[in-house]
Amino acid sequence: MLCKLSVNINKIATLRNARGGNVPDVIKVAADIEHFGAEGITVHPRPDERHIRRDDVFNLKKIVTTEFNIEGYPSESFLQLVEAVKPQQVTLVPDPPDVLTSNAGWDAVKHQSFLRDTVARLRQNGMRVSLFMDTELKQIEAAATTGSHRIELYTERYAAHFASGDKNAVLDFAAAGRYAHELNLGVNAGHDLSLDNIRFLLENVPQIIEVSIGHALISEALYLGLQNTVQMYKHQIKLARNME
């Protein structure tokens, strides 16, 4: 099964905002990343605009030629933003406004009604919806009943265990991928994925059809160069799917 690479460019915006001005140019970097081979651009705008800004989202919509994925907590202001922009995919995350980075998946059992209403609203506006989820099977089953098209597996736990030499953590993700597929949910994945751990994950969770990678990819690019790093990820994905 093919797997697309979507690059999260939040860290590019963080670097720009640290100095003011427009260096690096977030819009140009996004276009370059697509040219280098990525199949998508991801952003996660936050209320304080500490990295991606509202105007960035509108400007990116004008130039992204692959797939535009906007992540965020479904506050009314966020929903109005994505309804105005209409990206190809909206990934809903359960982040409170002040969280540093995403750190848990949805409790789709507890928030079933809220998620069902939100997903229906986004679907009515023609957007594909993905829910940020942990691997608990009952939660994935609950996610399927919301009407969401996909889930995005939160892979921080897998990455942490892999880095310590324990690869057994991938087993829960493999089970989650199989179950989601049985429920006709597409499977994305993201958080702390890197050149070191992505191939093993994709080999063991063949249902994954999209990975969203930002922090590690941009960090690796400091040493390897952005074009080279994007192409190295593409190579790892191809190796995992026996395409080379």
Strand partners, 42: 8, 69
Closest-CA residue to 208 (of 135, 105, 115): 135
Separation of CA 171 from chain center = 21
CA 41/CA 133 separation, integer angstroms: 20
One-letter identity of residue 37: G
- Based on its alpha-carbon atoms, the radius of gyration of the chain, rounded to whole angstroms, reads 17
Residue 52 class from Cβ within 10 Å (0-12 exposed, 13-18 middle, 19+ buried)?
buried
Catalytic choice (34, 51, 191, 220): 191
**Active-site annotation holder among 34, 67, 71, 210:** 71
**Residues linked to residue 70 through DSSP beta bridges, in sequence order:** 43, 90
Question: What amino acid is encoded at 76 in this protein?
Answer: E
**Which of 44, 51, 152, 210 is an active site residue?**
44
Sign of CA dihedral 35, 37, 40, 46: negative
Whether 71 is catalytic is yes
Cβ atoms of 149 and 185 within 8 Å: the answer is yes
Give the residue numbers marked as catalytic.
44, 71, 191
